[in-house]
Amino acid sequence: MDYRKDFEEAEKIDKLRSKMLKYILYKKRTEQEIRKKFCEEDESAVEDAIEYFKELNYIDDFDYVQRSVQEFMNLKSLSIKEMSYKMCQKGVSKKMVDEYISKHEEELVEYEINSARKIWNKKIQNSDENVVRDFLYKKGYRQETIQELEK
């Protein structure tokens, strides 16, 4: 038996887990972000570490979606479509994002209307309604949301 080889392998896995944990704890990350960051490492060791951190709930894409939406709602003026796009860019599955949006549709539609209203009130001072309306459409705001503002 080659204990030295086993020890070196365990030490390698431990170092990878430590690096990965620091990366995860610095900022909430998606599984895809972690895979991308550690793509140069041994693939099986990365898979093992990802599964390990998933079991400990350090990696949880659904939790990432919940936290991201709350952060967007607290700090930014975004359409639901923009939120969805940003999360998909981070590697969250479109299905998971859509599932979250449908479960929280009422709250998100209310947020989107308020968000669009902020933008409308800010931009209408320097532009005409058509320019502001086009801007909101380009940002992904729903037609119903924009019509709500025009009332």
Give the pLDDT confidence of 34-89 residue by residue, as tens digits. Answer: 999 999 998 988 999 999 999 999 999 999 999 999 999 999 899 999 999 999 99
pLDDT exceeds 70 at position 151: no
The Cα-based distances of 2 to 12, 44, 65 in angstroms read: 16, 20, 45
Give the pLDDT confidence of 112-134 residue by residue, as tens digits. Answer: 999 999 999 999 888 889 999 99
Task: Find, among 21, 35, 20, 23, the residue nearest to 91 by Cα.
Answer: 35
- Give the DSSP H/E element, type plus range, for residue 111: helix 105-123
Which domains does the chain possess? 3-59 (1.10.10), 78-149 (no CATH)
Entry pTM: 0.82
